Amino acid sequence: MGKMNDGVTLARHFSALKGFDVAELPAAGRWPTPRRIATLSVHTSPLEQPGTGDAGGMNVYIVEVSKRLAARGVEVEIFTRATSSELPPVVEMTPGVTVRHVTAGPFEGLSKEELPSQLCAFTHGVLRAEAARAPGHYALIHSHYWMSGQVGWLAGERWGVPHVHTAHTLAKVKNRFIAEGDRPEPKARVIGEEQVISEAQALVANTRFEAQDLVGHYAAEPTRVTVVQPGVDLDRFRPRPTRAADRRRLGLPERGLVVAFVGRIQPLKGPDVLVAALAELRRRDPELAREVTVVICGGPSGSGLDRPTSLMDQAAALGVADAVRFLPPQTGNALAALYRAADLVAVPSHSESFGLVALEAQACGTPVVAAAVGGLVTAVRDGTSGTLVDGHDPRDWARVLAALLRAPDRRAQLSAGAVRHATDFSWDRTADGLLRVYREAVTEHRALIASRLTGCLA
């Protein structure tokens, strides 16, 4: 909270009280609900296609949560960096949810590593948008990823509103489990995360493991950390007896066994582990391996852009190129069809804050084989909805995959367990959890404002 030693700052803190409904106080059993929030997503737009570039699970999270918050009467304005001069300044994503494209630096050609140099320009654009509104337009800021957190930290102090932050990934955790050949996260990011985590009024973690990382590695105050698990669209991602049709639709073999990888193609996500496991499977059990097709669905991202054909080159070098199919990123019903077309979905990530792909696949009734890291330990129930693998040794992955591919009855058991497990997660539950965080942050902030204003006026 900034100091309130001038009339402008004092007035802003008074006006901030207009940003939410204070008719019901905590003593009456209900906390105030913000009418309008500013969501910050600097480095990737919720309108972008997940699975390539920097677009991934965070994009899905912001879209799904925003829609459900709007359905609960909370207007959401999402600020993201404009990446094309042809983008309109404001886009209505759905009733109650707008996306604001902020000009900050060149429209194209900026990597995520270069974006911190544009945070000042982006912050200016966010502050400028609020300045054109009536005082108290936004009741709360929710930032996603550390760069957005830097903007939220400054905007929150300027507007006199609470700042809620979700990290999604943490540099210290990623660097501890870095994939071979990947680049470590820079020191500047570590420092930036430390600053945001120290200053945010409330921190939202995807799992209890991420909450432990925030406290253990970043010294976050435990009372400011709340676990709110992500969800899955249970209407779109659900079982259907359409495997043959789904495979035809995607150009996959109607017979045989399919193991799918869905996600951005970069060392962090570990698709190379799956390709190497296929080669190991051919060595161990050539008869079974002849039935297997590995599908890689996604586009290059992060350090994967350095060698965009690396997986193709690896498959050719290992002699399995004939059994590896590459698909561009899929969305909506096409993505659900891919999950249903697969016998197994592999998630060999080296680090995951949660792992939405695993949850979506299970909701479609497809068992998941995942690395026992981060949020995947929560997203996959080992032995019930899939199998968790310790480490990333292709020999271990080949062994686990082979055991399941040879056992259709076991896969059927896991399929039923996967659907049951996925029903424990929904975006509605996520939105409700966030609303509780928002209400508490608004209530505490209001009490702090009242206390400080009383002191200033005394």
Give the tens place of pLDDT for each residue, 322-340.
999 999 989 889 999 999 9
Q: What is the pLDDT of residues 14-27, one digit of tens each?
A: 444 444 433 333 44
Do the annotations mark residue 58 as ligand-binding? yes
Q: What is the pLDDT of residues 173-217, one digit of tens each?
A: 999 988 887 889 999 999 999 999 999 999 999 999 999 999 999
Does 1 score more than 70 pLDDT?
no
Query: What SS3 class is residue 209?
Result: helix
Q: Which residue segments constitute the domains of the chain, with CATH numbers given? A: 36-231+428-456 (3.40.50.2000), 242-424 (3.40.50.2000)
Do the annotations mark residue 70 as ligand-binding? no
Do the annotations mark residue 218 as ligand-binding? no
pLDDT confidence of residue 458: 57
CA dihedral (312, 345, 54, 173) positive or negative: negative
Q: What is the pLDDT of residues 108-158, one digit of tens each?
A: 767 778 889 999 999 999 999 999 888 889 999 999 999 999 999 999 999
Do the annotations mark residue 206 as ligand-binding? no
pLDDT confidence of residue 19: 44
Do the annotations mark residue 439 as ligand-binding? no
pLDDT confidence of residue 2: 39
The closest of 348, 319, 332, 320 to 261, measured between CA atoms, is 348
Q: What is the rounded CA–CA span in Å between residue 357 and residue 33?
A: 31
Q: What is the rounded CA–CA span in Å between residue 123 and residue 107?
A: 16
Do the annotations mark residue 445 as ligand-binding? no
Do the annotations mark residue 174 as ligand-binding? no
Among 39-53, 106-120, 261-275, the range with the most confident prediction by mean pLDDT is 261-275
Do the annotations mark residue 29 as ligand-binding? no
Do the annotations mark residue 1 as ligand-binding? no
456 band by pLDDT with thresholds 50, 70 and 90: low
The closest of 170, 171, 166 to 186, measured between CA atoms, is 171
C-beta of residue 28 within 8 angstroms of C-beta of residue 445: no
Q: What is the pLDDT of residues 387-415, one digit of tens each?
A: 999 999 999 999 999 999 999 999 999 99
Do the annotations mark residue 188 as ligand-binding? no
The closest of 156, 149, 81 to 114, measured between CA atoms, is 81
Do the annotations mark residue 83 as ligand-binding? no
Q: What is the DSSP string of 236-284?
A: TS---S-HHHHHHHHT--SSSEEEEEES-BSGGG-HHHHHHHHHHHHHH
Do the annotations mark residue 339 as ligand-binding? yes
